[in-house]
Chains A and B, each alone.
Chain A
Amino acid sequence: MPEHKAKIQEANIVIRGNFNPQIFQPYWFGIQGLIRKEEVNDANVKIIHPDIASFSLGWMVLEVTRDRFLLSTSQDAYTEVTRDLALGTFTVLEHTPLKYLGVNVSKHFEMINEEQWHALGDILAPKGIWKDLFHKPGMRSLTMEESSRPDGLKGYTRVTVEPSVKIHPGVYFLVNDHYSVKDPESVTGAEEILAILESEWYGSVKRSNTIIDSLLEVI
């Protein structure tokens, strides 16, 4: 591919643990100084409920349930800001038990033509063994996993490749860099996940981009 510029991209941070969704209101973030005062006023609040809280600002979407915290941005300029917001949130809520962390990068790329689009599928999932079974086999989704992390931490890395449903002909990549605390059942605070987020985030995003670029290089 001549140019590896994603048409659509998203970076998100998913944390699994025990949360009180009602806390996660724009006003609370404003009081803590984690977002701008103007953003508190302009926030698009979708729901604040004991079981689920969801609001968005111009650059991010937040959704929290009792066991899941999601912070997402589709604007590349705000990926670091999004990471900082997660760090700041649980620095304040330091006694929140956090068990797992996902640093996720997803991108949609436009392919030059359908031939190139099919070529990527053929390289990643050769059709030889399917020829006698299907008339016209095609790859819908492929997930590869590295089940031991290169950094020695608990967790895994999963890469999913699918035809994009946003762009045609296009391809969709998702890299899920999953981290776990040493003992998820006995964790009592946010410290371990925060340390991972702080120390591993840049490396994780860089690795995700390298993986995606490398896969695009094959065609």
Chain B
Amino acid sequence: MRPLDWAVLLAALAGIVVYGLWKGRRSRDLDDFLVADRRMRWHHVALSIMATQASAVTFLATPGQAYADGMRFVQVYIGLPVAMVVLSATAVPVYHRLKVYTAYEYLEGRFDLKTRTLAALLFLALRGLSTGVSLYAPSLILSVIMGWDIRVVIFIIGGAVMLYASTGGARAVDNTNFLQFLIIMGGMVVAFLTIVRLLPADVSFLEAAHVAGKLGRLNAVDFSFDIKNQYNFWSGLVGGCFLALAYFGTDQSQVQRYLTGESVAQSRLGLLFNGLVKVPMQFFILFLGATVFAFYQFTQPPVFFNPAQAERARTGVHGEQFRAIESDYAAAFEEKQRAARGYIGALRSGDTAAAESASAGLKAAQDKVNGVRSGALEIIREFDPKPNDTNYVFLNFVTHYMPAGLVGLVLAAVFFASMSSTASEWSALAATTVVDIQRRLLKRDAGERYYLLSSKLATVMWGVFAICFAQYAGQLGSLVEAVNRLGSLFYGTLLGIFLLGFYFKPIKGTAAFLGALAGEAAVLYCFLFTSVAFLWYNLVGALVVVLAAHLINLFVVGSRTQDAA
């Protein structure tokens, strides 16, 4: 980090905190604190929704995913626009008309208190745990790449968010999300243009893209059907649609964003805008990663992108062997670079047979590079059972190759991405804690000022919890991975409950509640005893909830009603 990068980063962080405090200074009642007085215009709603969904890991892991595995990850988002249309047509008008603060309030009016409380507690448990992980994960990456103490990074992100989210509430969160998202996307565009500029002068961007494509990094869509593969068109369209329905329709951190819209129309436009631009945005971020891959076909990458682990391997008991592998890797890279240039030469000549032959040579050279790298992974595996450096690819490039000032800008974008999703989560957790638990179950009719103060305190409480959890997340090992998967284990059930509410009028509270338990059992069965890809859990959970509730309504609740009559 050069002085200019520090200046840009610190100015950006200080600026966003001041902006958040200023925007949230008028939060004087519960309506203002929890739903920004329902005054937000659609473009604020839209970018706040997108900033909430896109965490720092999105901008760090997604380019790395494209680098390692190609662009097929974009298919996870293909069902999202369909979900945006469904939610705009159904959920948004209902939530707006009822003037709810949280999605779970609706469930009490529609079903009963126990269903509302079950959904609220599920959300608090899932989001409460995951907010710590979502603070920890980018902090770890930033601390490793920059050589900073992870506790300092967690405290900077958490402390900054707490300052404006606990004082300004949803208004501060939505306004900062809006600005942060613009800066994040600006940072990504600048990074992309820098990569293109850094390609060798004798290689055009299109030729470099052809090399990346030939090595399987530009595989955006795959129409083959395989229920065990989550990265194909069908799992993205169906499973991804149900995931998006659950996330945007039942997760308070997203529902709260469009509840701030000043009307049904403004909230709908926010969601529809997300439906229009989310898929191309993800494509762009993945393409950024594929472009980094293309860049590293002509500039030698490190054998392992996590510098801390590479250094540990270099200085460990197998250090000499690791350094020998690094030398072999350099030689294999030189060979691959020649093969890449040979392929480009064949493309330029227009000779199809030569291009085919050069393509085979390029793939063989890539296999050789991968073979050498697998030796390095074996050494790293001795102290990390699952060595994975994809999250470090993009930041490694940024810190080594981007010019002064722009490194600070991209780092600020990563900080902002983490802050925006964290702020939305804390704000939603506070809203659910106060509205669905405290005001409904513990202390009713305590007055507006009391609940406003409670909401501010709840934001601080969840912030402190997340910061503490993140500090110790590194010692939790595989639990972090489990928490990351936890969402997909419960979203289907939550979605099923809301689907019953919106579309199946005869179903009442008890049938919905028991149906939810059956749906959760089905998802857990899939998780524990099958190899079904996780995107399908949402569909399975939602369908079983709906079917089981109907059966329970027909045979149990229905017969009880007849008996009573």
Q: Do A and B bind each other?
A: no
